[in-house]
Amino acid sequence: AYLNNKKTIAEGRRIPIDKAVENPTSTEIQDVCAAVGFNVLVEKNKMYPREWNRDVQYRGRVRIQLKQEDGNPCLPQFPTRKSVMLYAAETIPKLKTRTQKMGGSEQSLQQGEGGKKGKGKKKK
């Protein structure tokens, strides 16, 4: 919900809507954060309390170790939670799973539009 562009601030979004991602999953957030070098823990059965939809897609909490025991940040380029959220929202659309889904849906839409145009011409 923190990174979802379908949510309002009242529903739990924590970053600007123009930087947010459409329906990010906990596994996508985990992949992005683990690739940078964070210690990541995903709790699959946890849910965001304000989330009314109980689907498996919306389940999962991602826990990241931001600071070491002495209080210094684990990674200096990410000193705050918000910096991690913005980075995750920026890189999730670049994931292979996201780019493959987008490519497949665009092709199927184009094929459907082409068929509709052809049918219209035959009727005239």
Q: Is 62 exposed, middle or buried (0-12, 13-18, 19+ CB in 10 A)?
A: buried
Q: What is the pLDDT of residue 123?
A: 52
Q: What is the pLDDT of residue 98?
A: 75
Q: Where along the chain do its domains lie?
A: 25-95
Q: What is the pLDDT of residue 111?
A: 45
CA distance 98 to 106: 12
Q: Which amino acid is at 55?
A: D
DSSP class of residue 104 equals H
**Fold of the CATH domain 25-95:** Phenylalanyl-tRNA Synthetase; Chain B, domain 1 (3.30.56)
Residues 6+ apart with CB under 8 A from 112: none
Higher pLDDT, 122 or 84: 84
Give 32-86 as a DSSP string: HHHHHT--EEEETT---TT-----GGG--EEEE--B-TTS-BSSTT--SHHHHHH
pLDDT-derived band of residue 109, with 50, 70 and 90 as boundaries? very low
pLDDT tens per residue across span 4-57: 888 898 888 898 999 889 888 888 888 888 888 889 989 988 888 888 877 777
**Do the Cβ atoms of 48 and 29 come closer than 8 Å?**
no
Phi/psi for 5 (5° steps) reads -75, -5
Q: What is the pLDDT of residue 112?
A: 44
